[in-house]
């Protein structure tokens, strides 16, 4: 293998490690060459930096995968081909300065949360009726030994509460509703970002998916946090096997940073508000009991203990999306529309669009295969067909 081929192999290898920019690649190649044992280099008679870096790469790959027989993976473990990976690398390198400028000019102004404090919707003393099947799964696990009901203790009357809740279910006696803590999971973000080269910035509401795409397509993969504001970054999760027949695919995820300080400093907004309309809503009981499971704690100090609150229904004020968030996140109120008496919501519209495009692709394929069934549609279908060596009008690469 000549040095050009070795350099290409090293570059592809470094892409899998997240090292993409040309300066970073050159620096890492030097580091790899310097890390290769001098005795091994002397034994093989190699003195050039690329040769040493290549041997260091092979050595590192063999050490990380001792069962490998030879060679090294020259592309990411995704489904991309080497050519596709190379094209992405070249394009990202060419966009680096532009992406860096966008990154430096962008900030996450506020986290967008879904629900307000539970106490705004659930007033103290609100009661519920326990679901008839609330104990079905619990009692089954108690019977087969997966759970063991703990006795009353100084912290909680476990057995007493179990019996109280069981009797309340049987007799349909109201019990008090549990009022939990506010969920701090962000459903989206308000992100300030440039509107173009030399232009000002604009603040845009983005869903989590929108924000991830923004980081992928327009930045160098992150937006810095500040003292009072959150940050965002892309994080790579390697593929791994979690058990027999259970695999976790390689993926990129959106990770929030400095979230605790951002929340403490009020850098968040709640997208839904309480309205007067009442609705039967799933809730949990204030009373709870503890069970010991048949699983052991990681430190081996004893069984894992679970707190169980039984489920029920209570009439609660509804939550509705505030008007300024409807366009991005929808109304937040599920409306039965199976008979299509109303315009489709965002989720239904996306499904319709996918179905339409799939059906269209099927028609085009039939036409290409000479299917007489669609011959009369030829004039209409030709508009959706890619010309030789190009793409269909309006299509994007």
The per-residue pLDDT string of the chain (397 residues; one tens digit each, 9 = 90 and over) reads: 677 878 878 887 787 676 777 777 888 898 888 888 887 787 788 888 898 998 888 887 654 443 333 333 333 445 567 777 788 888 888 999 999 999 999 999 999 999 999 999 999 999 999 999 999 999 999 999 999 999 999 999 999 999 999 999 999 999 999 999 999 999 999 999 998 756 689 999 999 999 999 999 999 999 999 999 999 999 988 877 665 556 677 788 999 999 999 999 999 999 999 998 999 999 999 999 999 999 999 888 999 999 999 999 999 999 999 999 998 988 766 666 677 887 787 778 888 888 888 888 888 888 888 888 878 888 887 777 755 444 444 444 3
Q: Which two tokens stand for residue 165?
A: 């809740």
Q: Do 189 and 262 reside in the same domain of the chain? A: yes
Asked whether residue 328 is assigned to any structural domain, the reply reads no
Asked whether residue 209 is assigned to any structural domain, the reply reads yes
Q: Do 19 and 126 reside in the same domain of the chain? A: no
Sign of the dihedral through C-alpha 169, 172, 173, 177: positive
Asked whether residue 33 is assigned to any structural domain, the reply reads yes
Cβ distance 270 to 116 under 8 Å?
A: yes
Q: Do 266 and 237 reside in the same domain of the chain? A: yes
Q: How far is CA 155 from CA 37, 152, 162, 397, in A?
A: 61, 8, 15, 62
Cβ distance 290 to 206 under 8 Å?
A: no
Q: Do 263 and 383 reside in the same domain of the chain? A: no
pLDDT of residue 145: 93
Tell the residue number behind the tokens 């499904």, with chain if given: 351
Specify the number of domains making up the chain: 4
Q: Do 129 and 167 reside in the same domain of the chain? A: yes
Asked whether residue 67 is assigned to any structural domain, the reply reads yes
Asked whether residue 249 is assigned to any structural domain, the reply reads yes
Q: Do 52 and 17 reside in the same domain of the chain? A: yes
Q: Do 201 and 232 reside in the same domain of the chain? A: yes
> In the chain, which residue ranges form alpha helices assigned H by DSSP?
3-15, 22-35, 38-44, 49-64, 82-105, 118-121, 136-143, 158-171, 208-218, 259-264, 323-329, 346-368, 378-381
Of 233, 253, 270, which residue sits at a domain end? 270
pLDDT of residue 366: 83
Asked whether residue 330 is assigned to any structural domain, the reply reads no
Q: Do 376 and 236 reside in the same domain of the chain? A: no
Q: Do 158 and 286 reside in the same domain of the chain? A: yes
Q: Do 301 and 163 reside in the same domain of the chain? A: yes
Asked whether residue 34 is assigned to any structural domain, the reply reads yes
pLDDT of residue 118: 96
Separation CA 317–CA 119 (nearest Å): 11
pTM for this entry:
0.64
Of 270, 290, 312, which residue sits at a domain end? 270
Separation CA 182–CA 119 (nearest Å): 9
Report the candidate in 349, 352, 313, 317 with the shortest Cα–Cα distance to residue 333. 317
Q: Do 350 and 396 reside in the same domain of the chain? A: yes
pLDDT of residue 7: 84
Asked whether residue 329 is assigned to any structural domain, the reply reads no
Q: Which two tokens stand for residue 346?
A: 């965002």
**Backbone dihedral region for residue 276 (phi beyond 0: left; psi -120 to 50: alpha; all else: beta):** alpha
Q: Do 339 and 363 reside in the same domain of the chain? A: yes
The boundaries of the domain holding residue 319 are 120-181+274-323
Q: Are strands 268-270 and 107-113 parallel, antiparallel or unpaired?
A: parallel
């Amino acid at each position: 293998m000549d040095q050009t081929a070795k350099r290409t192999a090293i570059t592809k290898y470094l892409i899998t490690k997240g090292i993409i920019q040309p300066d970073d690649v050159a620096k890492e190649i030097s580091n790899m060459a310097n890390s290769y044992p001098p005795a091994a280099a002397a034994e093989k008679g190699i003195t050039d930096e690329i040769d040493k870096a290549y041997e260091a790469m092979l050595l590192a790959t063999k050490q990380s995968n001792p069962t490998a027989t030879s060679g090294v993976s020259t592309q990411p473990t995704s489904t991309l081909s080497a050519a596709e990976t190379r094209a992405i690398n070249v394009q990202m390198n060419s966009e680096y300065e532009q992406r860096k400028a966008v990154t430096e000019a962008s900030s996450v102004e506020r986290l967008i949360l879904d629900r307000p404090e539970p106490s705004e919707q659930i007033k103290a003393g609100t009661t519920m009726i326990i679901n008839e099947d609330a104990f079905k799964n619990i009692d089954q696990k108690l019977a087969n030994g997966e759970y063991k009901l703990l006795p009353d203790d100084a912290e909680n009357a476990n057995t007493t509460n179990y019996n109280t809740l069981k009797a309340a279910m049987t007799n349909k006696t109201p019990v008090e509703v549990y009022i939990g803590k506010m969920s701090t999971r962000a459903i989206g973000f308000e992100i300030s970002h440039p509107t173009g080269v030399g232009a000002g910035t604009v603040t845009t509401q983005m869903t989590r998916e929108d924000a991830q795409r923004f980081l992928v397509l327009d930045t160098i993969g992150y937006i810095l946090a500040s003292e009072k504001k959150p940050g965002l970054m892309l994080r790579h999760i390697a593929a791994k096997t979690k058990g027999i027949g259970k695999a976790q695919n390689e993926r990129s995820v959106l990770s929030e940073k400095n979230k605790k300080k951002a929340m403490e400093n009020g850098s968040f907004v709640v997208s839904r508000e309480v309205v007067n309309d009442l609705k039967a809503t799933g809730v949990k009981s204030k009373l709870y009991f503890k069970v010991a499971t048949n699983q052991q704690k990681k430190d081996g100090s004893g069984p894992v203990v679970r707190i169980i609150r039984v489920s029920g229904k209570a009439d609660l004020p509804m939550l509705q999306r505030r008007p300024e968030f409807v366009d991005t996140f929808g109304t937040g109120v599920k409306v039965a529309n199976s008979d299509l008496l109303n315009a489709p919501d965002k989720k239904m519209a996306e499904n319709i669009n996918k179905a339409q495009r799939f059906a269209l692709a099927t028609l085009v394929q039939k036409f290409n295969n000479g299917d007489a069934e669609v011959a009369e549609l030829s004039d209409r279908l030709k508009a959706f067909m890619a010309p030789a060596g190009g793409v269909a009008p309006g299509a994007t690469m």
